[in-house]
């Protein structure tokens, strides 16, 4: 059993502050929490491609990150130099709207346990991965980081958003109290290899890829899509996300979260038409307006990250094509969890 020390005294808080971040080196140990998930697996690939051979990961069956004692014991044993918090309970509109209690409770416990363990056991650099749903439903577009907490959230995923906002606050609190250069980043909608392709509980991109593929295979000439098709969404390939996160770990040190995206959005109808064309399905699209649209538009202002010198490299069309190739090449192993139990991003 891990023994957790009592709160620090004022003298403890006067220790020398950590220096600004430096370039990551392959000899460092990096714990990617959520390394089997969409974002975490991309970060793992990016680091492995740069020669990092001290990568640490654990599945949810090996370490349940909702369990504080288990999380503390794991981080204490591994003692990573760097931690990327990409573990979370995730899902689309249906899952978020149906199971808000689990989305709030699971995500709060995961991130609190990981960040407390990181601070306690000497993790010198940490990046917390949030979500663009933290911003108000009717935030001015494109959404600046300063829009946080300026308005009401989208009600279909407000529980998940509140958990992620709490994660940002925890990063800022650790920085303020302990001087550690921990940071947070808010990505836009993600897609790519390793996604969850469940037809009802996944996010819009993988759900449509699967639906159109199955419609093509079955000779179905109509596919129904939730909502009106008019909401606008921005999509970022996970390999671009991983590139951005490594860049931020080496170059960013601020309490304010930072947006990660492309700065380009499309309507859900335009996205569906692009995916259908890539898949080779030429049937009719029917939009079910009795179902919720969610936020009308969610485009991130990425000027701060662009100003630092980073830019995405994968176009939406190219990204959809590569994701569909990955999907068809992994039909026997793709994740189709219902998102109702377990933590599929571990």
Among residues 160, 191, 252, 324, which one is catalytic?
A: 160
DSSP state of 237: E
Higher pLDDT, 296 or 78: 78
Beta bridge partners of 260: 187
With a cut of 90, say whether residue 224 has pLDDT above it: yes
Residue 20, pLDDT score = 57
166, with CB counted inside 10 A (0-12, 13-18, 19+), is middle
Residue 1 predicted with pLDDT over 70: no
At the second CATH level, the architecture of 28-196+234-263+299-314 is 3-Layer(aba) Sandwich (3.40)
Q: What percentage of the chain exceeds 70 in pLDDT? A: 90
Whether 213 shows a pLDDT value over 50: the answer reads yes
pTM: predicted TM-score of the whole model, two decimal places: 0.88
Query: Which residues have a Cβ under 8 Å from the Cβ of 9 and sit 6 or more positions away?
Result: none
65 is in an annotated binding site: no
- The annotation status of 276 as a binding-site residue, yes or no, is no
What average pLDDT does the structure give for the chain?
90
Residues 6+ apart with CB under 8 A from 311: none
- Report which secondary-structure segment, H or E, holds 343: none
Copy the structure tokens of residue 230: 């008019």
Res. 23: pLDDT tops 90: no
Average pLDDT over residues 200-214: 88
**pLDDT at residue 335, rounded to an integer:** 64
pLDDT-derived band at 13 (thresholds 50, 70, 90) equals very low
Write the pLDDT tens digit of every residue in 131-142.
999 999 999 999
124 is in an annotated binding site: no
Has 35 been labeled as part of a binding site? yes
For residue 261, say whether it is annotated as part of any ligand binding site.
Answer: no
Whole-number pLDDT of residue 255: 97
- Give the model's pLDDT for residue 193: 93
What average pLDDT score do residues 9-37 get?
71
Summarize the confidence of residues 85-89 as an average pLDDT. 95
Q: Is 297 a known ligand-binding residue?
A: no
- Asked if 31 is an active-site residue, the reply is no
Domains of the chain by residue range: 28-196+234-263+299-314
Mean pLDDT within 143-154: 96
Q: Which of 43-47, 92-96, 121-125 has the lowest mean pLDDT?
A: 92-96
298 among annotated binding-site residues: no
Query: What is the DSSP secondary-structure string of 6-30?
Result: PPPPTTGGGSPPPPPP----TTS-E
* Distance, CA of 106 to CA of 256 (rounded, Å): 24
State the pLDDT at residue 84.
98
232 token code pair: 């606008």
78 is in an annotated binding site: no
Distance CA 98, CA 297 (A): 22
The answer, yes or no, to whether residue 18 has pLDDT greater than 70, is no
What's the gap between Cα 316 and its chain centre? 18
39 annotated as belonging to a binding site for a ligand: yes
Tell whether the model's pLDDT for residue 216 goes beyond 80. Answer: yes
**Position 17 confidence tier, pLDDT thresholds 50, 70, 90:** very low
Q: What are phi and psi of 238, to 5 degrees?
A: -65, -30
Instruction: For residue range 150-165, list pLDDT tens digits in order.
Output: 999 989 889 999 999 9
Summarize the confidence of residues 279-299 as an average pLDDT. 93
* Residue 295 confidence (pLDDT): 78
Sign of CA dihedral 335, 340, 342, 346: positive
In the three-class reduction of DSSP (H, G, I as helix; E, B as strand; rest coil), residue 291 is classed as coil
Q: Determine the pLDDT at residue 210.
A: 95
- Please check if 164 is assigned to a binding site: yes
Greatest alpha-carbon span in the chain: 71
Task: Say how far apart CA 82 and CA 54 lie, in whole Å.
Answer: 11
b/e burial code for range 244-266 (CB count within 10 A of at least 16 → b): bbbbbbeebbeeebbbbbbbebb
More confident residue, 96 or 314: 314
CB distance 231 to 268 below 8 Å:
yes
């Amino acid at each position: 059993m891990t023994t957790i020390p009592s709160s620090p005294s004022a003298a403890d808080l006067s220790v020398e502050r950590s220096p600004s971040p430096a370039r990551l080196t392959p000899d460092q140990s990096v714990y990617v929490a959520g390394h089997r998930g969409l974002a975490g697996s991309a970060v793992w690939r990016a680091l492995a491609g740069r020669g990092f051979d001290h990568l640490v990961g654990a599945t949810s069956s090996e370490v349940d990150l909702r369990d504080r004692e288990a999380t503390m014991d794991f981080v204490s044993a591994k003692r990573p130099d760097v931690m990327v918090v990409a573990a979370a309970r995730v899902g689309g509109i249906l899952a978020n709207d149906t199971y808000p209690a689990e989305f709030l409770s699971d995500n709060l416990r995961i991130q609190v346990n990981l960040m407390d363990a990181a601070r306690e056991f000497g993790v010198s650099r940490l990046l917390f991965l949030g979500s663009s749903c933290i911003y108000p439903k009717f935030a001015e577009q494109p959404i600046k980081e300063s829009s946080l907490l300026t308005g009401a959230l989208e009600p279909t995923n407000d529980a998940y958003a509140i958990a992620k906002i709490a994660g940002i606050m925890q990063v800022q609190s650790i920085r303020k109290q302990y001087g550690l250069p921990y940071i947070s980043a808010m990505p836009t909608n993600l897609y790519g290899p390793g996604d969850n392709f469940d037809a009802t509980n996944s996010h819009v991109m993988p759900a449509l890829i699967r639906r159109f593929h199955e419609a093509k295979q079955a000779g179905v000439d109509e596919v129904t899509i939730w909502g009106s098709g008019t909401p606008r969404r921005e999509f970022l390939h996970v390999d671009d996300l991983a590139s951005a996160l490594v860049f931020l770990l080496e170059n960013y040190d601020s309490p304010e979260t930072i947006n990660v995206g492309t700065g380009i959005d499309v309507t859900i109808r335009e996205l569906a038409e692009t995916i259908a064309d890539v898949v080779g399905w030429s049937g009719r699209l029917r939009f079910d307006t009795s179902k919720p649209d969610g936020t009308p538009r969610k485009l991130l202002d990425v000027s701060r990250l662009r100003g630092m010198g980073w830019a995405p490299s994968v176009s939406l069309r190219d990204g959809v094509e590569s994701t569909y190739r990955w999907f068809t090449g992994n039909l026997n192993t793709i994740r189709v969890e219902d998102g109702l139990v377990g933590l599929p991003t571990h």
